[in-house]
């Protein structure tokens, strides 16, 4: 990963690109598996490495979009806009964590459920959940490391502000932004990236309807992300198109234009 951006967007501006984003989403989802037989090493042992490779594959792309589940349409619309304007492939993070529950259900139905009572064993469920969530977090870390940029959709559905701090109730957003803060920073091997951009900025259980879901908040550290809004993205698209039309100027990578518009802060 090279750069990270914190986006505050007008959802209406990207609704026209939702269909394109959904197509990209479907392509990235292609190949996910929904059966466990092929992962069985024995009656009680599953091949976790093969399962992770199939369910959480490392897709190719330029931008990793981190978002709240409720903002999935906005994320898809943005992905469609990025492809329409720049032919950039954006990976929508729900391609990974959105399928964790499906995989977990498949494992639990086979290995944690009592066929006589239909109840799930609590201890076995804890172990299976830990395994799947470790797979997801490992996949997220690899994906963020592989992508050139991370775009975080900062909306009222993903964060809440308390005084000067921002917090989230999404463990996935918390994990992704923490990963993006500490992960190695790699400068793209393109001639357009100059020395100017080589500094980094900084039992009798209750029914589901009878109980409240536990809410846990995490404080977010966002100072390593550069802020972008809808106007910034539109200016980026116009600037890139202008560059393409100029004589004797090579087209270059569209992300280089974004880096020129939003340069890194020089270290103090």
State pLDDT tens for residues 230-246: 999 999 999 998 888 77
pLDDT given for residue 13 in this prediction: 92
Q: What is the mean pLDDT of the chain?
A: 82
CB 167 within 8 A of CB 217: yes
β-sheet bridge partners, residue 167: 160, 219
State pLDDT tens for residues 154-186: 999 998 877 668 899 888 899 999 999 998 888
The residue among 122, 114, 85, 103 whose CA lies nearest residue 29 is 103
First to last CA, the chain: 22
Between CA 136 and CA 130 the distance in angstroms is 10
Longest CA pairwise span in the chain (Å): 75
With tokens 């589940």, the residue in question is 69
- Please give the structure tokens belonging to residue 5: 């951006």
Confidence of residue 54 (pLDDT cuts 50, 70, 90): confident
Name the region of 190 (left: φ>0; alpha: ψ -120 to 50; beta: rest).
beta
CB 73 within 8 A of CB 65: no
State pLDDT tens for residues 112-157: 998 889 899 999 999 988 988 888 888 888 889 989 999 999 999 9
Between CA 180 and CA 185 the distance in angstroms is 9
Between CA 43 and CA 137 the distance in angstroms is 26
pLDDT given for residue 156 in this prediction: 92
Cα separations (Å) of 124 from 46, 73, 114, 191?
14, 35, 11, 53
The predicted model scores a pTM of: 0.81
């Amino acid at each position: 990963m090279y750069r990270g951006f914190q986006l505050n967007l007008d959802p209406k501006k990207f609704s026209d690109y939702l269909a394109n984003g959904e197509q990209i989403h479907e392509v990235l989802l292609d190949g996910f598996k929904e059966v466990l037989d092929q992962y069985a090493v024995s009656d009680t042992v599953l091949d976790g490495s093969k399962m992770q490779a199939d369910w959480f594959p490392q897709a190719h792309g330029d931008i990793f979009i981190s978002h709240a589940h409720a903002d999935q349409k906005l994320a898809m619309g943005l992905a469609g806009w990025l492809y329409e304007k720049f032919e950039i492939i954006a990976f929508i993070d729900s391609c990974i964590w959105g399928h964790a529950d499906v995989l977990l259900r498949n494992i639990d139905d086979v290995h944690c459920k009592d066929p006589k009572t239909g109840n799930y064993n609590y201890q076995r469920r804890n172990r299976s959940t830990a395994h799947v969530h470790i797979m997801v977090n490992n996949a997220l870390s690899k994906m963020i490391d592989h992508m050139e940029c991370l775009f975080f959709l900062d909306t009222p559905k993903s964060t809440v502000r308390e005084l000067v701090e921002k917090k989230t109730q999404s463990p996935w957003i918390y994990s992704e932004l923490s990963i993006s803060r500490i992960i190695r920073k790699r400068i793209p091997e393109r001639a357009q990236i100059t020395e100017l951009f080589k500094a980094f900025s900084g039992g009798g259980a209750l029914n589901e309807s009878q109980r409240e879901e536990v809410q846990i908040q995490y404080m977010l550290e966002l100072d390593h992300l550069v802020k972008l809004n809808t106007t910034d993205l539109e200016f980026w698209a116009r600037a890139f198109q202008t560059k393409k039309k100029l004589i004797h100027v090579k087209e270059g990578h569209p992300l280089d234009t974004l880096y020129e518009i939003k340069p890194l802060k020089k270290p103090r």
